[in-house]
Amino acid sequence: MLALLAPTPRYFRLVYQPAIFEQIRRVAAERGADVVIAYEMAAGDYVARLDDRFIKVLDGCEPFAFQSATATLRSQARIWKFKHFLRRMLDHFDAYVAVSDAELRWIRQAVAPRRASGLTVPNGADPAPAFEGAVDRSRVIYTGSLTYRANLETVEYFLAAIWPSIKNARPAATFVVTGQPPDAPTRQRLSAVAGVTFAGLVSDYDRFVSSSGVLAVPLLRGGGTRIKVLEAFALGCPVVATPKAIEGLTVAPGEDVLVAASPAEFAAAVVSLMDDDGLRRRLVVSARRTAERYSWARSQHTFVEAVERCVEQRAFLQPAVTTC
């Protein structure tokens, strides 16, 4: 109960280290930085504490990642605390960048920053050359660090609610998770499920994804534009996703991606991609065209323009701050 009364959310209290802030402050001052860009909110907590001589931009502002999938009183209290924490943080920034229009709207309406301006710069993916190697159609994959709670919850949900039906229909199917593994007890527990492997950080990520049968993204919570989905589009791996997993993406369900709302629908969609080569090819071709609209070059151009506007606004609206 006392933790709920603290003004700073628990996650940010745990990861903040004063020594890191001092190093950021020192390096920014020594190098005479004009602009300091924080990537994601944990870094934003440090950069917000710098004085206002610097133009500060928060990139990768993904508030939905901190929202619980269950609407309990405790979770609602945490969301209320998070909104007020984010408002205080953004009061020390010139601009913030959301990766989806939905999150930008939520920040503007629920957080209502009093100083920082916001814009959307989606994640990107550059289509790779067509994969010429062998594809393991029975291999279902999930990509993402399982030290991130939303990813771990997604994998646990998949194994409990969806995987048994897939394994029953196709006994040879395997489920491989890449990325930072969870703690040892959790890894041991989940690895005991038949057909499940935790591959860790694979040496050739692009080849691994391109040679896999299906990327499963049964996401229940989280935010942003799903970079794992875009990467699979770009690498020629078909995707089965929940509606939540494609929020923030302009995609055509049934053409770019198979969308399934229930565990039974999800399992059936995965099995259909194992069995139907024509469906697989159609999805891969259409998804690649969609990935071309999300090029990193386009996102980079939008981001650089936003930073330049901040510099111009500061030059006209605010005198330089010279005190430490």
State whether 151 and 93 are in the same domain: no
Q: Are strands 35-39 and 212-217 parallel, antiparallel or unpaired?
A: unpaired
Query: Whole domain around residue 213: which residue ranges?
Result: 136-294
Within 10 A of 142 (CB to CB), how many other CB atoms are there? 22
Q: Is residue 54 part of a domain?
A: yes
SS3 per residue for 30-56: HCCCCEEEEECHHHHHHHCCCCCCCEE
SS3 243: helix
State whether 163 and 74 are in the same domain: no
Q: Is residue 130 part of a domain?
A: no
Q: 122 falls in which pLDDT band (50, 70, 90)? A: confident
- Count up the domains in the chain and report the number: 2
Average pLDDT score over residue span 159-179: 97
| Angle (CA) 226 125 227, round 5° | 15
Q: Is residue 181 part of a domain?
A: yes
> What is the identity of the amino acid at 119?
L
Task: Tell me the per-residue pLDDT of 17-53, one tens digit each, with 9 for 90 and over.
Answer: 999 999 999 999 999 999 999 999 999 999 999 999 9
State whether 280 and 160 are in the same domain: yes
Q: Is residue 275 part of a domain?
A: yes
State whether 229 and 306 are in the same domain: no
State whether 273 and 307 are in the same domain: no
Q: Is the pLDDT of residue 287 over 80?
A: yes
Q: What is the DSSP letter of 177?
A: E
Q: Is the pLDDT of residue 224 over 70?
A: no
Within 10 A of 316 (CB to CB), how many other CB atoms are there? 7
Q: 324 falls in which pLDDT band (50, 70, 90)? A: very low
Q: 254 falls in which pLDDT band (50, 70, 90)? A: very high
Q: Which two tokens stand for residue 315?
A: 């030059």
State whether 211 and 304 are in the same domain: no
State whether 213 and 308 are in the same domain: no
Q: Is the pLDDT of residue 309 over 50?
A: yes
Across the chain, what does the average pLDDT equal? 89
CA 68 from chain centre, in angstroms, equals 15
Q: Is residue 129 part of a domain?
A: no
CATH number of the domain where residue 21 is located: 3.40.50.2000
Q: Is the pLDDT of residue 208 over 90?
A: yes
